[in-house]
């Protein structure tokens, strides 16, 4: 499957109620070790109730500048949440369906490693 097929899809609860759009897919470099980099696995999907696109990710990072854009983006994506991949029941064309009783998690990214 192609990533862009998933981005912008409708995020639906098990009863068919739309809760937002899939704006991103969370990955973790934590799978089986490989020669260069460990396998990169999908751990969740990020859902924004009011938009299908999130370009700069202010709603999931601690960045505050430029302040006007940061505030506007946080307001646009207020109520965004992360759903663990374990709570995804079905992926179909243009829709992602969550399991009954799925949990909404804080979408904030952990701090980036210091280089």
Among 35, 65, 67, 68, binds another protein (CB under 8 A): 35
* Backbone phi and psi for residue 76, each to the nearest 5 degrees, phi listed first: -60, -40
Among 11, 12, 20, 26, binds another protein (CB under 8 A): 26
User: For residue 34, how many other CB atoms are within 10 A of its CB?
Assistant: 9
Measuring CA to CA, how many Å separate 107 from each of 4, 36, 37, 60, 78? 20, 28, 25, 5, 11
Contacts of another protein in 75-94 (CB under 8 A): 80-82, 84-86, 88-93
Least CB distance from residue 112 to another protein, whole Å? 9
Among 14, 18, 27, 63, binds another protein (CB under 8 A): 27
Gap between the Cα atoms of 103 and 69, Å rounded: 29
41 versus 69: smaller Cβ distance to another protein: 41
Gap between the Cα atoms of 7 and 35, Å rounded: 30
- Whether 90 and 10 have beta carbons less than 8 Å apart is answered as no
Among 11, 12, 20, 54, binds another protein (CB under 8 A): 54
Q: Which residues bind another protein (CB under 8 A)?
A: 1-7, 23-31, 34-44, 46, 54, 56-57, 60, 80-82, 84-86, 88-93, 99, 101, 103-107, 109-110, 113, 115
């Amino acid at each position: 499957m192609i990533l862009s097929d998933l981005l912008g899809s409708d995020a639906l609860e098990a009863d068919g109620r739309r809760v937002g759009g899939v704006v991103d897919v969370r990955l973790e470099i934590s799978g089986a070790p490989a020669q260069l980099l460990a396998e990169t696995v999908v751990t969740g999907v990020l859902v924004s109730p009011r938009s299908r696109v999130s370009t700069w990710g202010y709603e999931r990072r601690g960045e505050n500048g430029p302040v006007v854009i940061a505030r506007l983006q946080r307001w646009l994506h207020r109520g965004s949440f992360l759903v663990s991949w374990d709570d995804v029941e079905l992926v179909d064309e243009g829709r992602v369906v969550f399991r009954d009783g799925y949990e909404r998690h804080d979408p904030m990214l952990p701090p980036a490693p210091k280089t």
